[in-house]
Amino acid sequence: MKIKRILALLLTLMLLALPLTTVLAYTEEYPASSVSKGLKAPKGTELMIGELIGAEGGWNDNPDVGRTAAFDGDPLSFYDPAAANDPEHYVGVKMPAAYILTEIRILPRTGFLDRFEGAAIWGFNGDTFDPATATLIWVSDEGSEGTEDDEGNTIAVFQVIPATKFIPGKNTGFTSFAYFNEAKHGDVAEIELYGNPGSVTSKPYVDGGIKIAAAGTSTIEAVHFNSGVFLELSPTEKQWNVRDDMADVGGTQTEVGGSGYEGNIGWTAAGEWVQYTINVEKDGKYNFAAYLASGASTAGNIEVLYNDKSIGKTASEDVGDWQAYDWYPVGDVDMTAGAQTITVIFFNGNTNFAALEVKSLDAPAETEAPVVDNPPVAGEETTVSENVDNNGEGTTSAPTAEEKGEAGESAIDTPILIIIIAAAVVVVAVVVIIIIASKKKK
């Protein structure tokens, strides 16, 4: 009898342990869905596993195609919303604290690859998703491509969306994230969100915003980015020599450098970005240029946005020295008077960024010095020692983009004027000689 009781007790414990085993397996296997397909897990970030929110049931209110199917680590299951373009039919995760996304991985549903068009990730706080109040972080503008299996069938493959593809300035930290498609039916097999705990609150570095003058040239110094709104993915060097307020939050890295400005942003990684609040004095068209350097074998480039609208991208700057700066054209944009936002995105890192030059195209340039956004500190002088590596500092003054072209022009103006005057004198002298000679003959 004792043996039977012991066996019965063991059997009962095994049955009780089944649900626990399932939960543990779910948690452990969840990231294996993309990793098992040959993708490496992103470094320096974590897979976001939280409370599932959204539609419990999918098509025909079937729980097998509801929210769990999108986050179960099984590429063969899928979420099939009960209705298209209905905010009530979304799926997502709610985290215990605010998170900033670093990467999104989505596996479309095989057989419905066109429904990846319009796929989107939204951020919000709380339990209720509403597109009118939530923040759109990323959206796909096209369907996805698949691959052929051994039998010639087209099957879905994971779509990896790095932070460079996010809408700049929107990934500011949320507790809840939703997958919702406003364009298509919205089927999806797997959703994996990677991120780090954190949230940001934007605060301009310069009170009232960096002034952009109505005429002439204004300067936005790189190190005068807003506190709070930035994305730093790899603070490995832990360099915050200019902006020590970034040290406590592991934020954008800065150094004094040799750009001639207060400092530069350095140790950049692909997908990072910073924002600036500017105060435009007058409506008009403005030209942007960027002061950049790179010592990498594969140089980087940046994109500049005005209120989330792209002004342009710079060409890759292959100069071979981290403190050998040069001006690179960005583009022109129409700006409205008042407080506006400028965002700088580092596409592939490998870039030291010192400044943006903003030139008004609607009014003649003033003769006064360019407006620089950093206010002088009373009684303080700024001196730096000369060095030329990525941690280096220097005393060179940055020439403006205009000065580079004007130097050559002013150099030839005086000689040309002298030649013209000399030629005129010779002509007059010849005429006088001819007149005198003709009178003598008479």
Q: Where are the beta strands (DSSP E) in 198-283?
A: 210-212, 217-221, 230-231, 254-255, 264-265, 273-280
| Tens-digit pLDDT profile for residues 39-63 | 777 776 788 999 999 999 999 999 9
Question: What are the φ/ψ torsions at residue 393 (nearest 5 degrees)?
Answer: -135, 155
Q: How confident is the model at residue 408 (pLDDT cuts 50, 70, 90)?
A: very low
| Tens-digit pLDDT profile for residues 344-361 | 988 878 899 999 999 999
Tokens 């593809």, residue located: 165
CA angle 182, 187, 190 (to 5 degrees): 115
Q: Where are the domains of the chain?
A: 27-197, 210-403
Cα–Cα distance for residue pair 298/132, rounded to 1 Å: 42
For the segment 267-277, the average pLDDT, to the nearest whole number, is 85
210-403, what's its fold?
Answer: Jelly Rolls (2.60.120)
Q: What pLDDT sits at residue 214? A: 96
Where is mean pLDDT largest: 79-83, 240-244, 387-391? 79-83
Greater confidence (332 vs 412) lies with 332
Domain covering 27-197 in this structure, CATH number? 2.60.120.260
Are the folds of 27-197 and 210-403 the same?
A: yes
Q: How confident is the model at residue 208 (pLDDT cuts 50, 70, 90)?
A: very high
Question: What are the φ/ψ torsions at residue 423 (nearest 5 degrees)?
Answer: -65, -40
Greater confidence (194 vs 428) lies with 194
Q: Residue 395: is its pLDDT beyond 60?
A: no
